[in-house]
Amino acid sequence: MKHTISVLLQNKPGVLSRVTGLFSGRGFNIESLCVAQTLDPDVSNLTVVSRGDDNVIEQITKQLHKLIDVIKVVDITEKEYVEREMVLIRINAEAHTRAEVLRVIDIFRGKVVDVSAKSYAVEITGSASKIKAVIDILRPIGIKEIVRTGIIAMSRAAKTK
């Protein structure tokens, strides 16, 4: 099963390679990885998406926590959470498809960020399923290039009663 794990870690040189080395060394898979600084410049947040049965996911979270520079590990899949990914797509936009592309982008609330005579570059943000949907629709029109950020995720706030 797919799990999204959110990790807080010390923002120090080499920390990312400790995390990726752990995954490769122990045969865990990484489907997506995203890391950036938090409000505290000494702390980074890392979101990793991995697949495995319960035992594997338990080992992943424990092994991550065992790294000296890791502050907190949360498997947010177990909770209510929001996930987002951004994708930049350069798509064929010849005369006969330009309008169609713009319609699709509009439906998915995307933005055109670069225009040329034969293509558009568009920016789309959303959950993994939305990104998949938009790619599926644009693919027949002709995707020339695609760049994805990887998934970032955040737990939803506890509901007050």
Partner 1 sequence: MGKITGSQAIVKCLQEEGVKTIFGYPGGAVLDLYDALMSSDIKNVLVRHEQGAVHAADGFSRVTGEVGVALLTSGPGATNGVTGIATAYMDSIPLVILTGQVPQPLIGNDAFQEVDIVGITRPCTKHNYLVSKLEDLVPTIREAFHIAKTGRPGPVLVDLPKDLVASSLNYPVKTPVQMPSYQPTYVPHPVQIAKACRLIMAAKRPVLYVGGGVILSDANAELTELAQKLNIPVTMTLMGLGAFPGTHELSMGMLGMHGTYTANMAVAECDLLIAVGSRFDDRVTGKLEDFASKSKIIHIDIDPTSISKNVKVDIPIVADCKNALTSMNLWFDKESNFDLSEEAARHKPWFDTISDWTAKHPLSYTDSDTIIKPQYVIEKLLEFTKGEAIITTEVGQNQMWAAQFYKFNQPRHFVTSGGLGTMGYGLPAAIGAQMAFPDKTVIDIAGDGSIQMNIQELATAKQYGCPVKIAILNNSFLGMVRQWQELFYDRRYASTTMDVTPDFVDLAKAFGAVGLRATKKDEVIPVIKEALATDNTVIMDFKIEKEEGVYPMVPAGKATTEMLLV
State the DSSP string of the chain. -EEEEEEEEE--TTHHHHHHHHHHHTT---SEEEEEE-SSTTEEEEEEEEE--HHHHHHHHHHHHHSTTEEEEEEGGGS-EEEEEEEEEEEE--TTTHHHHHHHHHHTT-EEEEE-SSEEEEEEEE-HHHHHHHHHHHGGG-EEEEEE---EEEEPPPPP-
Q: Which of these ranges, 32-40, 63-71, 101-109, 120-128, lies near partner 1 under the rule CB under 8 A?
A: 63-71
Minimum CB distance to partner 1 smaller for 9 or for 104: 9
The CB-of-11 to partner 1 minimum distance in angstroms stands at: 12
Minimum CB distance to partner 1 smaller for 75 or for 123: 75
The CB-of-44 to partner 1 minimum distance in angstroms stands at: 12
Please give the residue ranges that form the binding site for partner 1 (CB under 8 A): 9-10, 13-14, 17-18, 21, 25, 55, 58-59, 62-63, 65-66, 68-71
